[in-house]
Amino acid sequence: MKKSTLATFVCGLLLVSSHVFAQFNKNQVIAHRGAWDDTIPQNSLASLNKAIELNCFGSEFDVHLTKDDVLVVCHDHDFYGIEIEESTYEELLKKQHPNGEKIPTAKEYILEGLKQKGKNKTKLIYELKTSKVSKERTLLAAELSVKLVKELKAEKMIEYIVFSYDAGKKLMQLDPKAKVSYLNGDLTPEQAKKEGFFGLDYNHNVYKKNPTWIQQAHELGLAVNVWTVNSAEDMQLFLNQNVEYITTDQPGRLFDLIGK
């Protein structure tokens, strides 16, 4: 009876694990600023939906804090010439993306991602941008980000990436279960593991200069992402090293290589 009970319990755990894992697409492709092109703007809701259509593992997006404490999605510190940190959200609405979209709030972006149906979903890779104004503003953005994600019950859909070490630590403090990866490239795998990061998310040149880091990270149980990889040669280089994720402006090209 004991053996039978144990076997049933183990099978149950495997089924639960399989169910959880199956909630997200099983590939290495992260669309950088969404899947964009000449007609689809970067960091737009359209680019997110295109990444979802392509079945990317994740869609990366960049988040800033406005002067009046609204989290908005944009890569640069300005939105078509309007400085984000020096402006209110209403002031940012004076400009639009070429496709007619206004600047998305982080809430709108996440809610769009939460519309996905079915088992295989595209994760939302939330890059918290570092404030140019002060460290305090970066940490406030971290606090508001975790609060928003919890309010939307989107914790399982979100993985955070940060250049700011302090912001990364703040995110982990506010949500110990959050997956937070470090972008800056100045921590060794051992240091990143010690500091509690989920993984390394470094520029491809960092890994080329430190060719043992990917293997070391894997041995330590860290996930490895590499950005921004656009050439087929570099894609193949990192696929051969079994990195978990590759962030790219060319998700279609990466899918082709993976298919081969």
Whether 63 is covered by a domain: the verdict is: yes
Whether 2 is covered by a domain: the verdict is: no
Whether 1 is covered by a domain: the verdict is: no
Q: What is the pLDDT of residue 108?
A: 98
Confidence check: pLDDT of 259 > 60: yes
Q: What is the pLDDT of residue 23?
A: 79
Q: Residue 59: give its domain's CATH number.
A: 3.20.20.190
Whether 247 is covered by a domain: the verdict is: yes
- Confidence at 247, pLDDT banded by 50, 70, 90: very high
Mean pLDDT of 243-259: 98
Whether 106 is covered by a domain: the verdict is: yes
- Confidence at 14, pLDDT banded by 50, 70, 90: very low
Rounded to whole angstroms, the maximal C-alpha distance in the chain is 71
pTM beyond cutoff 0.85: yes
Q: What is the pLDDT of residue 173?
A: 98
Mean pLDDT of 169-188: 98
Domain carrying residue 140? 24-259
Whether 14 is covered by a domain: the verdict is: no
Strands 180-182 and 199-203: parallel
Whether 170 is covered by a domain: the verdict is: yes
Per the DSSP assignment, residues forming a β-bridge with 127 are: 62, 161
Mean pLDDT of 98-116: 98
Distance in angstroms (rounded) separating the CA atoms of residues 63 and 205: 24
- State residue 249 phi and psi, 5-degree precision: -85, -5
Whether 207 is covered by a domain: the verdict is: yes
Q: What is the pLDDT of residue 6?
A: 43
Distance in angstroms (rounded) separating the CA atoms of residues 37 and 217: 33
- The structural domain count of the chain equals 1
Amino acid 111 reads: L
